[in-house]
Amino acid sequence: MRKQAKTAITPTRAKDYPVWYQQVVKASDMAENSPVRGCMVIKPWGYALWENIRDVLDNMFKETGVKNAYFPLFIPKRFLEKEAEHVEGFAKECAVVTHHRLEGGEDGGLVPAGPLEEPLVVRPTSETIIGESFSRWVSSYRDLPLLINQWCNVVRWELRPRIFLRTSEFLWQEGHTAHVGPNEAMERTLQMLDIYERLAESYLAVPVIKGEKTVSERFPGAVNTYTVEAMVQDRKALQAGTSHFLGQNFARASEIKYQSTQEKEEYAWTTSWGVSTRLIGAIIMTHGDDDGLVLPPKIASSHIVLMPIIKKPEHRNAVMDYTHALARELREITYHQRKIIVEIDCRETGGRGWDWIKKGIPIRVEIGPRDIAQDSVFLGRRDRGPSEKESIPKGQFVKTIVSILDEIQKNLFDRALRLREENTKQIDSKDDFYAFFTPENSERPEIHGGFALSHWCGNQACEEKIKEDLSVTIRCIPLDAEKETGTCIACGGKSPMRVIFAKAY
RNA sequence: CGGGGCGUGGCGCAGCCUGGAAGCGCGCCUGCUUUGGGAGCAGGAAGUCGGAGGUUCAAAUCCUCUCGCCCCGACCA
């Protein structure tokens, strides 16, 4: 009967997922590209998400004894050269500062002058410079464990940037700890992984799988790398956080030594762990729909927008008073350690409701004279269709707002989990495996594939072969994987367990 | 950096092949009208057609170079 249902975002996810993603970022007013390729301007609506993620994590870290500190942006080049694998891993993507001054050039422009004696590298990660500090801070077993975190930006020169997912500069937190022994360090590594899981699942409503990375996917210089992997709506894997057991590699490189109770000099055992603004990309791709962003209430930039409906001037005062009174009432309510954030949108245009849908605000409330007469509000929820709105008594709304938000939060998680489960397959035959990861339309690949739980013999060559053939990699070896013998999907050799294969961001 | 696609008001697009006064939809501003759930009518503001050269009487349109964005590949949180 009606013209086809319009979506607020074109193209839709099914039509062109990458372009859809960019349109959501734009339409939700979260961020924009900067004049510098690969960098982004994070606007208030996007930055608020980061602040909320930061607050949640920061508290969790501190509950486990971690302290915040700040280390310099610039790292002397020789520091990066200390750990061989580390050098190799990061050398290709480092920004290097070689001068400390600009001088007037011939054509009125500026030219770099004052060359530095030793070039400075803009931190791609801070293991080396923090290691240098740690080496001076640690001398006795009594100084351990040393538990430090910093919130900062880092730079990794990216060839193919994607806003929030892979930018040349991004914001993150990097935790660095030093311990007396391997067990304690490993325990910390996994403890932080648990925190990332908790952040992802109970705050971002993003289901994740904890696992260990294979050798080829490991952090350069690490002994083990652990990850939380999410599946986003085009069924690709997204690494949402990593935690590394560094063994004594960096302690050796940076001379982090302590005297043990036996009066022996020992190298410390270290860890590092981080999550970045990439998480915002994970939120967009996990929950967003064809009408735009969908924000999980627990970390939403704002929770509710109130939209007064004023058709006749004589109603104005009554409607505005009612709206402001409701806003005051709502702002007193605490939702998971945060006061509820209420927006009031007084624009008198029809499209404003859609602006808020595109921004992903969990709850929209329309308030007009008729509602006021019944002392009720007209409510729209972002986990439901744009026109599935209902009138409910104001008192009830205020009383149940927390549980409504919780319900939305839960619905988003359940929906995301269902998507992952529906697209996770145990695959044992090589043909099925190749078919699973091959689109029907190779020109314009449709959304296909997912997570394949398949056997792998542990041989790097097999992993490499799959990657070459299909651009599919082992996302992780799940920590809770059951021991189950089988045959390797690539070579047919013996395999002790299933791992997760997927295309990845 | 290699292959493919695309850059036209804030957003989405047409026009380009065949050169001849910059258009459409949404949004924005003003006014009037209007069951309260993506309103209607009328008027209006806003673009050096990504940038630089060139061909031409005339370039959004043809040619060359360049920059940016998206996809595929190499690299990666």
| pLDDT one-digit tens code per residue, A340-366 | 999 999 887 767 888 999 999 999 999
**Residue A98 pLDDT > 70, yes or no?**
yes
Nucleotides of B under 7 A from a protein CB: 1, 11-13, 26-29, 34-39, 67-77
Tell me if A190 sits within 8 A of A243, measured CB to CB. Answer: yes
**Residue A182 pLDDT > 90, yes or no?**
yes
The answer as to whether A442 is a domain residue is: yes
**Protein A161 CA to nucleic acid B37 C1', in Å?**
40
Give me the pLDDT at residue A108, please: 67
Among A228, A257, A287, the domain boundary falls at: A287
Same domain assignment for residues A332 and A457: no
Provide the ipTM. Answer: 0.82
Same domain assignment for residues A47 and A94: yes
Where is average pLDDT lowest: A86-95, A180-189, A198-207, A246-255?
A86-95
The answer as to whether A160 is a domain residue is: yes
**Residue A4 pLDDT > 50, yes or no?**
no
The answer as to whether A416 is a domain residue is: no
**Protein A160 CA to nucleic acid B1 C1', in Å?**
11
Residue A498 CA to residue A235 CA, distance in Å, equals: 19
Instruction: List, as one string, the DSSP characters of A142-202.
Output: GG--EEEEEEEEEE---SS-BTTTB-SEEEEEEEEEEESSHHHHHHHHHHHHHHHHHIIII
Looking across all nucleic acid strands, the nucleotide with the smallest C1' to CA distance from residue A279 is: B77
| Burial (0-12, 13-18, 19+ Cβ within 10 Å), A387 | exposed
The CATH number covering residue A306 comes to 3.40.50.800
Same domain assignment for residues A351 and A495: no
**CB A399 under 7 Å to nucleic chain B:** no
Instruction: List, as one string, the DSSP characters of A214-282.
Output: -GGGSPTT-SEEEEEEEE-TTS-EEEEEEEEE-TTHHHHHHT-EEE-TTS-EEE-EEEEEEEETHHHHH
**CB A424 under 7 Å to nucleic chain B:** no
Which 113-142 positions of A have CB less than 7 A from strand B?
none
**Protein A172 CA to nucleic acid B10 C1', in Å?**
31
| A111-141 confidence digits (pLDDT tens) | 888 999 999 999 999 999 999 999 999 999 9
The alpha-helical segments, DSSP class H, found in A360-393 are 369-373
Looking across all nucleic acid strands, the nucleotide with the smallest C1' to CA distance from residue A239 is: B77
| Look-up of token digits 């208030």 | A44
The CATH number covering residue A470 comes to 3.30.110.30
Q: Summarize the confidence of residues A216-244 as an average pLDDT.
A: 94
**Residue A3 pLDDT > 60, yes or no?**
no
Give me the pLDDT at residue A38, please: 87
pLDDT classification of A316: cutoffs 50, 70, 90: confident
**Protein A167 CA to nucleic acid B59 C1', in Å?**
38
**Protein A19 CA to nucleic acid B7 C1', in Å?**
15
Give me the pLDDT at residue A498, please: 94
**CB A328 under 7 Å to nucleic chain B:** no
pLDDT classification of A241: cutoffs 50, 70, 90: very high
**Residue A234 pLDDT > 80, yes or no?**
yes
Give me the pLDDT at residue A2, please: 28
Residue with the bigger pLDDT between A108 and A284: it is A284
Same domain assignment for residues A148 and A254: yes
Residue A157 phi, psi (nearest 5) = -65, 105
**Protein A471 CA to nucleic acid B1 C1', in Å?**
20
**CB A265 under 7 Å to nucleic chain B:** no
Give me the pLDDT at residue A441, please: 76
How many structural domains compose chain A?
3
The answer as to whether A413 is a domain residue is: no
CA distances from A189 to A46, A224, A242 (A): 29, 9, 9
The answer as to whether A221 is a domain residue is: yes
| A382-423 confidence digits (pLDDT tens) | 999 888 888 999 999 999 999 999 999 999 999 999 999 999
High-pLDDT (> 70) share of chain A, %: 98
Among A231, A258, A287, the domain boundary falls at: A287
The answer as to whether A12 is a domain residue is: no
Same domain assignment for residues A163 and A277: yes
The per-residue pLDDT of chain A, averaged, comes to 92
Structural domain boundaries, residue A368: 300-407
Among A343, A377, A407, the domain boundary falls at: A407
**Protein A29 CA to nucleic acid B46 C1', in Å?**
21
**CB A324 under 7 Å to nucleic chain B:** no
Looking across all nucleic acid strands, the nucleotide with the smallest C1' to CA distance from residue A387 is: B37
**Residue A439 pLDDT > 90, yes or no?**
no
**Protein A448 CA to nucleic acid B16 C1', in Å?**
36
The CATH number covering residue A149 comes to 3.30.930.10
Show the tokens assigned to A28: 């939700």
| A6-41 confidence digits (pLDDT tens) | 688 888 888 888 889 988 999 999 998 887 888 888
Same domain assignment for residues A311 and A261: no
pLDDT classification of A90: cutoffs 50, 70, 90: confident
Same domain assignment for residues A449 and A337: no
**Residue among A206, A156, A200, A214 at smallest CA distance from A502:** A214
**CB A443 under 7 Å to nucleic chain B:** no
